[in-house]
Each structure stands twice: as structure tokens, then as C-alpha cells.
Amino acid sequence: MARGQRKTIEEKIQAKQELIDALMTRVESEKRELEELFREKKQKELEAVGDLISDTGLQPDEVAEALKQYMETRSQAAV
């Protein structure tokens, strides 16, 4: 039974390089999509915090001070 024509080593190298290039392009595309998902997640988290601040009627500097006090209290309790 006759086999098809065998590829030369140069053709095999070129095919592998093309495959690797295609995979690298795919990896870069997936990384960009992942970064966008992280940005979306962060935006939603910030919106939730903003909504909470609005609901309390506090000013951002008041919220920052409250968080600072909370963290100080929490770090003292851990000691």
C-alpha cells in the first residue's frame, strides 16, 4: 500500500512554527479577554461600594475615616 509523499524536515519545522504562532495569538487573545473580565469585575465592585456609600448618605472622606478606624481596631484585636 503506497503512502503519501513524506514531508521534509523543513516543512515539518514550518508547520510546527505556524502552529506555535497560532497558539501564541490565541493565548494573547485569551489574556485580553481575561483582563477585560477583571476590569468588569472591578467596575461592578466599585459600583456596589458607591451604591453603599450613597445609601448611607456619608461623604467619601467619612467612609475613608470609618474604614481607617475599623482597620486600626481590627489590627489591634489581632495582636
Q: What is the pLDDT of residues 24-68, one digit of tens each?
A: 999 999 999 999 999 999 999 999 999 999 999 999 899 999 999
Mark 38-65 as b/e (b = at least 16 C-beta within 10 Å).
eeeeeeeeeeeeeeeeeeeeeeeeeeee
Cα separation of 37 and 30, whole Å?
A: 11
Q: How many residues belong to the chain?
A: 79
pLDDT at site 2: 56
Residue 51, H or E segment: helix 9-56
pTM passes above 0.85:
no
